Amino acid sequence: MLKHLNLEKLLFFDIETVSNTAYYNELSPAMQDLWQHKHQFVAKPEENFESSYTNKAAIYAEYGKIVCISCGFFVNDEFRIKSFANEEEALLLEEFSALLLDTRFILCGHNIKEFDVPYVCRRLLIKGLSLPRVLDVAGKKPWEVDYIDTLQLWKFGDYKHYTSINLLANIFDIPTPKDDIDGSQVGKVFWEENDLQRIVEYCQKDVITVARLVQKWKGDSLLKDEHIRVIA
């Protein structure tokens, strides 16, 4: 599996998202009304509008925003990681888009076809920014989009379930750093603790895990911690 894939052509990436505002009552009246409508379809029976917004808004590009995009790429035996993180979303999107102008890269990540890529595209448009060519896939057939999505690869054509990157790492004995947060806590860390660097570190660990998973499936030796370099 992936035996002939050139890892140096891949740009591994992951995004972290939070709600657009810290609290539901900070939304405009129009957006509150629109969330109330969405609430009917996404909330648990016991949830009110405020709690469903806190728990769910970040996963919808219309109600959330990106606070970090971490990218990784191989250069010989070294894996270099660069993160774009900013409270001003437009700034990090512009920087990430500039990186994507390098056409040698093929995007790689976990669930990027259904989440990360569509989310980035929607937020770019909302912010009035242009789509880089590699993201502009409107009208293309599925087989014309050459992203490497580890979730889709693992499904082998099965569309009935979702498998987390943490589960795949566990069953394939891929070492993952011990985290003090998970995805459900990113919003709290951002809005209540104002600790963006902690989110960056969490995002980078997911990128490393995906890179190691691809190496495992390719039959290569796994990336060692001492060969990882974070670049500014």
What domains lie within the chain, and their CATH numbers?
A: 7-20+63-230 (3.30.420.10)
Q: Rounded to whole angstroms, what are the CA distances from 13 to 34, 43, 69, 178, 224?
A: 31, 29, 7, 20, 18
Write out the chain's pLDDT in tens, 232 residues.
788 899 999 999 999 999 999 999 999 999 999 999 999 999 888 899 999 999 999 999 999 999 999 999 999 889 999 999 999 999 999 999 999 987 678 999 999 999 999 999 999 999 999 999 999 887 777 777 889 999 999 999 888 788 999 999 999 999 876 667 888 899 999 999 999 999 999 999 999 999 999 999 999 999 999 999 999 8
Query: Which pLDDT does position 28 carry in this prediction?
Result: 97
Query: Which pLDDT does position 177 carry in this prediction?
Result: 66
Query: Which pLDDT does position 1 carry in this prediction?
Result: 75
Read off the pTM. Answer: 0.94
Query: Which pLDDT does position 121 carry in this prediction?
Result: 96
Tokens of 127: 């912010």
Query: Which pLDDT does position 138 carry in this prediction?
Result: 79
Question: 93, 27, 39, 43: which is closest to 65 by C-alpha?
Answer: 93
Alpha carbons within 13 A on the beta-carbon side of 41: 6
